[in-house]
Structure 1
Amino acid sequence: PLPPLHFSHKHTILPVLTDRHFLMTNTGITMKKLSGLDHLRSLAILMVLFYHYRMFQHPHWLDEIMSFGWTGVDLFFVLSGYLISYPLFINMAAGKSISLPEFFIKRFFRIIPAYLVVLAIYFLFPSFHEREALPPLWKFLTFTQNFGFDIKNLGTFSHVWSLCVEEHFYLLFPLVLAALLKFNVWRKAGILLAVLFIFGIGIRLYCWYAFIAPHLGEDNFFITWYKHMYYPTYTRLDGLLAGVSIAALFAFKPAVKARVTQHGNAILLLSLAVLAGAWFLCEDQETFSASVFGYPLVAAGYGLAVVAAVSPSCILYRYNSRVTALIAKLSFALYLSHKGVIHLAQPLLAKTGLAPKGTPMFMACLLVAGLGAFTLNKAVEAPFLRLRQRVLEQRKKTAHKKMMMITNDSAA
């Protein structure tokens, strides 16, 4: 077992992974949520939503302001890396074991039910398709759709490539942590993170010269670039690793966290400066510099934003908004369903007289997408999250009974 770290009751507030970002202090769990993370999650889904809306008829101004909107998914990666790994690191720091069954139960009930419902809609109702055709069903069921992905001919439900990346992370990350604990080399995890960052740059360099550079100037160059650079898991680890790195630093170095989080607003400004640099670097996504070095720069910028969001001194932390809290709550349902819903809604709304490329149509489609996400959340997500809670409570009761039986047998 690992030696426990002792935290100062005065300075330490530890965010734990729940669907509402509740806080855990030394005196127990409080009902206060981390508003800063809600703000970032709502920003991420709105960036994705606005960016994807450009595949439909849309206002011209949307093209001008959303050229960087593709990084909304990178913000999701950083948030996921932080929120998934932080409670696991806290357990490790306290000398506790990691419960893999509990981890996978939480992830399964949070993701799979809503995902399968929307996937079934796509395969059962072709009118829901926003593009030409779907990839094979087995690729969706095995979360391998992001490998060798042909965006031109199989572009329907394409956005779940990022869910594939996260599922690979959910599967491998706790297993890596368990191995580090088993072989008592967890203190070298920082070296592993650095190696993985370097690996990301190295693998993108290889992909560029081996698969992409030979096709420069070709008419379908963008298909090659997306297939080998944008979608594969092994080229998109930077955001997740940034979130994991922040979580590790804060969990194992609480004194560092206490000092850093005193400067939340300054860190937020630094985040904006780094993201501005990333914007200029990635102005043309398909260039060599953007492909190889853009992703770590974007991850660094959003990583700093996460640090700011969990800093009590930051405006993001202090400002509470019901609007962003609601958007954050619906973010996964919005992510899954928005393309199909907008594809159906826009022609119907056009019959009311709304101009297809007008701003009122844009706002109306966003509202309909929100209603669709709200329906999915209430009909699928919420019931399965309640079921998850019952399953976890039953596991605890079973484990407690077994412990009592072992204790009684030992006493006898």
Structure 2
Amino acid sequence: MPLPTHPGVSQKLHGLDHLRTLAITYVFLFHYFILSKGEPAWLPPVAAFGWTGVDLFFVLSGFLIAAQLFAESKSGQGFSLKTFFIRRSLRILPAFGVTLALYFCFPFFREKESLPPLWKFLTFIQNIGLNLKDQGTFSHCWSLCVEEHFYLFFPLVLVLLYRLRLFRRSWWLLLALFLAGFIIRVYSYREYYLPQSSTEISWMYWYQYIYYPSWNRLDGLLAGVGLAALYHFAPGAWSRISRYGNLMLVAGPAILVAAWFLCEDQMTFSASVYGYPLIALGYGLLVAGAVSPGSLLYRLKSGLSSRIATLSYAVYLTHKGLIHMTHDLLAGQQINSNLLLVISILACLCFAGLMHRLVEQPFLRLRKRLLPSREKLQTGSAVIPPA
């Protein structure tokens, strides 16, 4: 997973591939135990915190996209909004379009009965104003919506800061957005969720007003952007911090354990308001450790990890539908639940491999032809699958 440093120079960061593999594995297992109704029996306690895999993706995405734009900005040429949006579109939209076609054209692919209207997916606002009766099918697209909102607004904010000559002092904006997250979640919890908390479907209102909206889920992205800013614009401070890469790899999981206890009941006030920043901090430390030259993750190379990281976007988009189809096709075969899990994993990886080869790679080659001068600064496999 290359990270842009200077114009024309890319640095391979194997640690980020390991984290990306961890994120997609954690998300897959979380959705699997829900769709399999808790089978195998050992899986629920292992995968119960897997919903935070999307938060790891958010931190990775914030870090890598910001690092790419910061590197281009430091080159003296600035960055092109047109180029950035073309690059993002050719990476994200082809596989997303194929997945949408599967969901809307082949009902047996759907893990639930109903779908939100197509226009909500096409405009990436499926996570806003969620219709309760449409909850379930391709619901994991909510995080892709969060990512797309980030891809849209972050470069526009950078351009504005540059034009106002405020970029070097923009640390205050990161802090303001971070604090705004607390305020917005407190308001959403008290004004929208609490009045419905005594109803039989209170959990649906919690997802609608607390869990899905982009404005409540900025913590991970902000952590990634802050780390990228430190990496690029405070090299002295980063050099001192990065000496403690292995310590950060220990501190990150320790904080995540604390977050696990805090978020054991996600719908409490404390979990809803303070849980996401704590999770972002834990995963932020893991990412910081992974890009620290002296850390174990930085030095560890794995072809398997790199391959899964490459396929992770396609896996993320399609895994719920494929799990559902695999279980339906093998229903009544009396297959051991552990073996069924393995079969489902292989089905998802094989389908993702086909999608990567037949859909993603042709558009990546097209991107190289259209944007040859910018590809040297491209983050390559560092594109984060929106989870």
1:280 correspondence with 2:266: no
Cα–Cα, structure 1 residues 312 and 273, in superposed 2: closer, same or farther, change >3 Å?
A: same
1:144 correspondence with 2:128: no
* Structure 1: distance between partners of 2:187 and 2:53: 26
In structure 2, what is the equivalent of residue 177 of structure 1?
A: 158
Range with greater deviation from structure 2 (184-193 or 147-156): 147-156
Letter in 2 for 1:119: L
Cα–Cα, structure 1 residues 322 and 308, in superposed 2: closer, same or farther, change >3 Å?
A: same
In structure 2, what is the equivalent of residue 230 of structure 1?
A: 211
In structure 1, what is the equivalent of residue 9 of structure 2?
A: 29
* Structure 2: distance between partners of 1:118 and 1:373: 11
* Structure 2: distance between partners of 1:157 and 1:236: 19
Range with greater deviation from structure 2 (134-143 or 154-163): 154-163
SS at 2:9 equivalent: strand
Shift of 1:188: 2.1
In structure 1, what is the equivalent of residue 364 of structure 2?
A: 385
Cα–Cα, structure 1 residues 128 and 367, in superposed 2: closer, same or farther, change >3 Å?
A: same
1:329 correspondence with 2:298: no
Between the two structures, name the one with larger relative contact order (CA 8 Å, sep ≥ 6). Answer: 2
Deviations 1:48-69 (A, max 9, x none): 1000012222212111111110
Shift of 1:393: 2.2
In structure 1, what is the equivalent of residue 325 of structure 2?
A: 344
* Structure 2: distance between partners of 1:94 and 1:392: 17
Cα–Cα, structure 1 residues 76 and 140, in superposed 2: closer, same or farther, change >3 Å?
A: same
1:372 correspondence with 2:366: no
1:359 correspondence with 2:338: yes
Deviations 1:238-295 (A, max 9, x none): 1001000000111110111111111110111111111111111111111100000000
Letter in 2 for 1:205: V
* Structure 2: distance between partners of 1:379 and 1:265: 39
SS at 2:170 equivalent: helix
Question: Any conservation in 2 of the 1:78–1:242 contact (CA below 8 Å)?
Answer: yes
Range with greater deviation from structure 2 (66-75 or 48-57): 48-57
Structure 2: give runs of 5+ residues left out of the alignment: 376-387
Identical columns (%): 50
* Structure 2: distance between partners of 1:370 and 1:151: 31
Shift of 1:121: 1.2
1:45 correspondence with 2:28: no
Matches within 5 A, 1:177-216: 177-216=158-197
Structure 1: give runs of 5+ residues left out of the alignment: 1-19, 397-412
In structure 2, what is the equivalent of residue 70 of structure 1?
A: 51
Shift of 1:152: 5.1
Match of 1:60 among 12, 36, 41: 41
In structure 2, what is the equivalent of residue 8 of structure 1?
A: none
Shift of 1:43: 0.4
Shift of 1:395: 8.5
Question: Any conservation in 1 of the 2:246–2:295 contact (CA below 8 Å)?
Answer: yes
Shift of 1:35: 0.7
In structure 1, what is the equivalent of residue 102 of structure 2?
A: 121
In structure 2, what is the equivalent of residue 316 of structure 1?
A: 297
SS at 2:330 equivalent: helix
* Structure 2: distance between partners of 1:341 and 1:110: 22
SS at 1:206 equivalent: helix
Match of 2:223 among 208, 227, 242: 242
* Structure 2: distance between partners of 1:118 and 1:318: 35
* Structure 1: distance between partners of 2:218 and 2:311: 25
Shift of 1:23: 5.9
Cα–Cα, structure 1 residues 394 and 177, in superposed 2: closer, same or farther, change >3 Å?
A: closer
Q: CA RMSD in A?
A: 1.7
SS at 1:393 equivalent: coil
Question: Any conservation in 2 of the 1:21–1:33 contact (CA below 8 Å)?
Answer: yes
Question: Any conservation in 2 of the 1:238–1:296 contact (CA below 8 Å)?
Answer: yes
* Structure 2: distance between partners of 1:29 and 1:50: 36
Question: Any conservation in 1 of the 2:3–2:12 contact (CA below 8 Å)?
Answer: yes
Give the length in aligned residue pairs: 373
